[in-house]
Amino acid sequence: MIHFFEKIQNLFKKHPDQIKAVLEIFLSRVTASHTGIHYRWGKIDQFESFYSMIKGLFPRQFWHLLGKNLVKSLDTKKQPLLMKLAQLHSKTEGYPTTQEDYVRLQLYSIKDGRALAAFKFCLHLACIGRPQTLELDPQKSEP
């Protein structure tokens, strides 16, 4: 968690609009039933954009992309970051797979063999503890 809050503070100083966008997207996409957030395939380009903004906030080794036929379905030119993540984990034993018709981004620990709730927990804390000048409008970020 220390890693997350150090990164988000530094990023907020340099790019407050980016943090605002990340938090609004998170609030509009988060569900109670999953540890990460998910996007339908039709909005995969928006997902690439979200991941590009948030990927530096958590240690790289914990990011996990979950979805059906990810390597075959993603476009290397349009979704290079998601493709890189999908290719990395397609070769790693111990990562879960799914047959769901959407793509989910979550934090995952191979060591513990489970998804980490830190993703939602830290982002919820960031929403609650944000500066008063940073007003969030999750309705702006269409689910």
**pLDDT tens column, 102-135:** 888 888 887 887 788 888 888 888 877 776 666 7
Across residues 7-22, what is the average pLDDT? Answer: 85
- Tell me which residue range forms the domain holding 13: 2-132
CB of 131 closer than 8 Å to CB of 49: no
The CA–CA distances, whole Å, from 114 to 72, 103, 120 equal: 25, 17, 14
Q: Please indicate, yes or no, if residue 95 is contained in any of the structural domains.
A: yes
Q: Please indicate, yes or no, if residue 139 is contained in any of the structural domains.
A: no
Looking at mean pLDDT, say which of 44-53, 56-65, 113-122, 128-137 comes out highest: 44-53
Q: Please indicate, yes or no, if residue 141 is contained in any of the structural domains.
A: no
Number of domains in the chain: 1
Q: Please indicate, yes or no, if residue 140 is contained in any of the structural domains.
A: no
Tokens coding 7:
């990164």
Q: Please indicate, yes or no, if residue 142 is contained in any of the structural domains.
A: no
pTM flag (> 0.85):
no
Q: Please indicate, yes or no, if residue 101 is contained in any of the structural domains.
A: yes
Q: Please indicate, yes or no, if residue 70 is contained in any of the structural domains.
A: yes
Q: Please indicate, yes or no, if residue 44 is contained in any of the structural domains.
A: yes
